[in-house]
């Protein structure tokens, strides 16, 4: 029986990963350790708690809390840490960078230190293609320099460097995966695909930043989960693996797929003021992960379509979020003036 601690497991990708891993590995016990910020929700794991009650445990906690992290790792006899916990939204990192540095950098250090103290057999860091910065030509390989350009991506890059430093300095058995934009069930509707899908369902404007010609590799979350599983089982210690479809589309194309899937008019598209420092293009070379036998199942277009259909079928999940005061005040701050000016 392996005993995994999945930090940030109540968020979007983490909850999909926990569900996938418990199904795929009947001999695994998973402890989710999560602070439950606005993006973390126990509802995301409700079915998991029922179906896998004997192999699933939840602890509410902050990865920056040294005492609670240490006591959990020690008392629960954790052999593997998979760290998803992070502040993750670029727009919020432009409003308030402090919590990104705290969780994505200091929190990563706390987990690494605990892994070292208690002899954890594997520490896996879930990172992002954004650490490479914008890539106007070609594709990012794992050997590329890091050139992050937002407070979010700079914090994630610092986290990655700390992970590698623990490997170099103390031989901590680490791996890192760098994923492209994920889409799928349970993504908080501040990220573009769930935001556009839910706005389109309600026939509200879709606020496209700038000209919408930015390019992103929208991958289906399950492909990212199988990618991380592959790295955990076949990855080489100390190595980094990119995870994505390896082919990107423009935001305008993604927006059109959202509208077509829901049979909504193009008139809902509204070009608004751009994101400051907006990275024009991310593009991953995923050949290294493919050499381990991994393949993605969904293209960007299929991933977006499948996601939009999930939001259309699961209004009971997102309506309470969008009608809450926390979401409404964020939306007013982020989009109020933009929508007015447009
Ligand atoms: P998310 O925002 O949906 O979830 C983050 C989770 O972390 C939430 O459950 C939240 O409660 C928890 N959390 C935040 N701060 C915490 C803290 N201090 N202590 C404990 N828990 C805390 O994020 P996501 O989109 O699922 O991303 C998960 C990871 O994957 C992140 O590390 C992110 O950088 C990385 N990533 C995301 C994408 C993407 O497209 N969403 C792509 C590549 C990599
Ligand atoms: O690339 C991986 C990263 O993808 C992850 O590390 C991040 O955690 C995740 O949030 C995501 O970052 P992006 O900034 O690419 O995702 P977001 O959904 O915020 O935006 C996707 C694209 O859509 C981007 O070019 C900005 C644009 N956009 C976004 C929003 C929210 C809009 O045009 N309008 C919007 O309202």
* 311 part of the active site: no
* 130 part of the active site: yes
What's the pLDDT tens digit per position in 38-96? Answer: 999 999 999 999 999 999 999 999 999 999 999 999 999 999 999 999 999 999 999 99
What's the pLDDT tens digit per position in 90-100? Answer: 999 999 999 99
C-alpha distances in angstroms, 267 versus 114, 200, 299? 53, 11, 26
* CA–centroid distance, residue 73 to ligand 1 (Å): 20
Q: What is the mean pLDDT of residues 271-300?
A: 98
Q: Is the CB of 227 under 6 A from ligand 1?
A: no
* CA–centroid distance, residue 132 to ligand 1 (Å): 18
Counting atoms of ligand 1 from 1, which one is nearest the CA of 129? 43
Which CATH class name applies to 3-183+220-243? alpha beta
Q: Is the CB of 40 under 6 A from ligand 1?
A: yes
Q: Whose structure tokens read 């193009």?
A: 266
Kindly name the residue from 129, 217, 223, 229 that is annotated as catalytic. 129
* CA–centroid distance, residue 12 to ligand 1 (Å): 7
Q: What is the mean pLDDT of residues 296-320?
A: 98
C-alpha distances in angstroms, 334 versus 11, 32, 95, 159, 250? 21, 31, 9, 27, 22
What is the pLDDT, as a whole number, of residue 1?
72
3-class state of residue 271 by DSSP: strand
Mean pLDDT for the chain? 98
Task: Please tell me the distance from the alpha carbon of residue 72 to that of residue 300, in angstroms, as a whole number.
Answer: 38
What is the pLDDT, as a whole number, of residue 157?
98
Among 245, 339, 248, 336, residue whose Cα is nearest residue 287: 245
Question: What residues pair up with 190 in beta bridges, in sequence order?
Answer: none
* 152 part of the active site: yes
For the chain, domain boundaries = 3-183+220-243
Q: In the chain, what is the greatest distance between 2 CA atoms, to the nearest angstrom? A: 57
Ligand with smallest separation from the Cα of 338 = 2
Task: Please tell me the distance from the alpha carbon of residue 12 to that of residue 182, in angstroms, as a whole number.
Answer: 9
Half-sphere exposure of 257 (CA within 13 A, CB side): 21
Ligand with smallest separation from the Cα of 130 = 2
Atom 22 of ligand 2, residue of closest alpha carbon = 192
This prediction's pTM: 0.98
């Amino acid at each position: 029986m392996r005993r995994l601690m999945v930090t940030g497991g109540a968020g979007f990708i983490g909850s999909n990963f926990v569900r996938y891993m418990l199904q795929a590995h009947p001999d695994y016990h998973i402890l989710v350790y999560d602070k439950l910020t606005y993006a973390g929700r126990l509802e995301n794991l409700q079915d998991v708690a029922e179906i896998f009650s004997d192999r699933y445990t939840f602890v509410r906690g902050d990865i920056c809390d040294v005492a609670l992290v240490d006591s959990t790792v020690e008392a629960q006899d954790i052999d593997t840490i998979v760290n998803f916990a992070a502040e993750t939204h670029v727009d919020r990192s432009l409003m308030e960078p402090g919590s990104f540095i705290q969780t994505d950098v200091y929190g990563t250090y706390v987990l690494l230190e605990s892994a070292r103290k208690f002899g954890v057999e594997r520490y896996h860091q879930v990172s992002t293609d954004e650490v490479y910065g914008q890539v106007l030509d070609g594709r990012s390989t794992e050997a590329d320099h890091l050139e992050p350009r937002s407070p979010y991506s700079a914090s994630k890059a610092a986290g990655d460097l700390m992970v590698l430093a623990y490997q170099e300095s103390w031989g901590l058995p680490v791996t890192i995966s760098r994923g492209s934009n994920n889409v799928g069930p349970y993504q908080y509707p501040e990220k573009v695909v769930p935001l556009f899908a839910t706005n389109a369902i309600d026939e509200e404007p879709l606020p496209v930043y700038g000209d919408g010609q930015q390019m992103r590799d929208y991958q289906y979350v399950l492909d990212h989960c199988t990618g991380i599983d592959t790295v955990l089982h076949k990855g080489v210690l100390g190595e980094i693996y990119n995870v994505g479809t390896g082919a990107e589309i423009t935001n305008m194309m993604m927006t059109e797929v959202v509208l077509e899937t829901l049979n909504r008019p193009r008139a809902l598209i509204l070009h608004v003021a751009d994101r400051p420092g907006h990275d024009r293009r991310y593009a991953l070379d995923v050949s290294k992960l493919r050499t381990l036998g991994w393949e993605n199942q969904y293209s960007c277009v299929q991933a977006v379509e499948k996601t939009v259909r999930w939001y259309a079928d699961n209004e009971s999940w997102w309506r309470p979020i969008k009608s809450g005061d926390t979401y409404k005040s964020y939306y007013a701050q982020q989009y109020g003036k933009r929508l007015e000016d447009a």
